[in-house]
Amino acid sequence: MPLPKLLITRRVYDSVLDSLSGVFDIQHNQEKDEPLTKPDLMQKLADKDYLLSTVVDRIDEEVLAAAPGLKCIASGAVGTNNIDLKACTDRGIAVTNTPDVLTETTADFAWALLMATARRLTEAEQYLRQGQWKGWSFDQLTGVDVYGSTLGILGMGRIGSAISRRAQGFGMTVLYHNRRPAADEASARYVEKDVLFKESDFVVLVVPYSPQTHHIVAAKELALMKKSACLVNIARGGVVDDKALVQALQSGTIRAAGLDVFEGEPALDPGFLPLSNVVLTPHIASSTRATRGAMMQLAADNLLAHAQGRALLTQVA
């Protein structure tokens, strides 16, 4: 009996590929590791039974229609806003994601951005590299204190809770806003969204992207923030109105921002680039070797489970 056909859209670790070999007839992208255009993706999926995709692969109705034999999509990410889940369900295609394995790593990175933003680390490094440092002074590249300040978390799920736990070591007051209060969050105080933006010294965004959260942070929310406040986005591009944020940073409406995600990434609003009060990183919050390996392997394990008739580990559709 021929092996079921699997498309892997981007390079994965050799150990992950080895775990799938012998079970699937694999078409991979190990050598080039280049993003697939939509026509390429549709062409490669035409005869496939399985797909291991990434957060940058957009799987919509048109793509699904080009893959009549597709049985299961294993996404190597937590967020699934790039996949039309309803269309998958209508076609009987199972979809899985990779929760939990990246929680602590992503929370660490939220803190890396928060600290870099508070203490102007990237600005200070450029100052040094460009030969501008001529000596010491009291007011040289002064930042703001993290210890004892107020942290606001928009989205108190697994990652939000992990960020909140870390805040206890900094003696911070932690506020959060969700659609509803989190039953198990004793170390943080639930507040309305406007209160969170008004009272926080640092606002960290951890909400999933959806039509309901599109531009959940726009000019109105930015205007509520303290002029000394910093915004950190590790959620998804589109959660923040980037044009409004550029304007807020240019005008001093808020002090600074740390951003790992952007609208339309890998493109980003060019208005960010000349600003010294924004820390920019290329969507790497989960990017440690161990965590990215765990994400790939969980996606692979879901594919193996489906092909072998076992229960899926992390099914979302």
pLDDT tens profile 19-46: 999 999 999 999 999 999 999 999 999 9
pLDDT band (50, 70, 90) for residue 167: very high
Whose CA is closest to 217, among 271, 254, 163?
254
Token pair belonging to 295: 């994400």
- pLDDT at res. 316: 98
Over residues 91-107, the mean pLDDT reads: 97
pLDDT band (50, 70, 90) for residue 101: very high
Catalytically active residues are: 236, 265, 283
Tell me if the bond preceding 39 is cis, omega within 30° of 0. no
What is the average pLDDT score of the chain? 97
User: 91 with 65: CB under 8 angstroms?
Assistant: no
State the amino acid at position 192 in one-letter form.
E
User: 56 with 35: CB under 8 angstroms?
Assistant: yes
Strands 5-8 and 50-53: parallel
Burial track 45-71 (b if 16+ CB lie within 10 A, e otherwise) = beebbbbbbbbebebeeebbebbeebb
Q: What is the DSSP letter of 280?
A: E
DSSP per-residue codes, 214-249: TTSBSHHHHHHS-TT-EEEE-S-TTSB-HHHHHHHH
pLDDT band (50, 70, 90) for residue 1: confident
Helical H runs in the chain? 14-20, 38-45, 61-65, 85-90, 103-118, 121-129, 158-167, 193-199, 219-224, 242-251, 289-307
Given a cut of 80, whether residue 185 has pLDDT beyond it is no
pLDDT tens profile 239-275: 999 999 999 999 999 999 999 999 999 999 999 999 9
- pLDDT at res. 237: 96
Given a cut of 80, whether residue 186 has pLDDT beyond it is no
pLDDT tens profile 63-87: 999 999 999 999 999 999 999 999 9
Residue 50 CA to residue 313 CA, distance in Å, equals 16
User: 225 with 254: CB under 8 angstroms?
Assistant: yes
User: 317 with 85: CB under 8 angstroms?
Assistant: yes
pLDDT tens profile 206-243: 999 999 999 999 999 999 999 999 999 999 999 999 99
Over residues 108-133, the mean pLDDT reads: 98
Kindly state the helix (H) or strand (E) to which residue 176 belongs, with its residue range.
Answer: strand 173-177
- pLDDT at res. 275: 98
Token pair belonging to 217: 């942070």
pLDDT tens profile 192-211: 999 999 999 999 999 999 99
Question: 185 or 231: whose pLDDT is higher?
Answer: 231
pLDDT band (50, 70, 90) for residue 314: very high
- pLDDT at res. 196: 98
Given a cut of 90, whether residue 183 has pLDDT beyond it is no
Q: What is the DSSP letter of 149?
A: -
Whose CA is closest to 214, among 242, 181, 195, 194?
242
User: 231 with 203: CB under 8 angstroms?
Assistant: yes
Given a cut of 80, whether residue 290 has pLDDT beyond it is yes
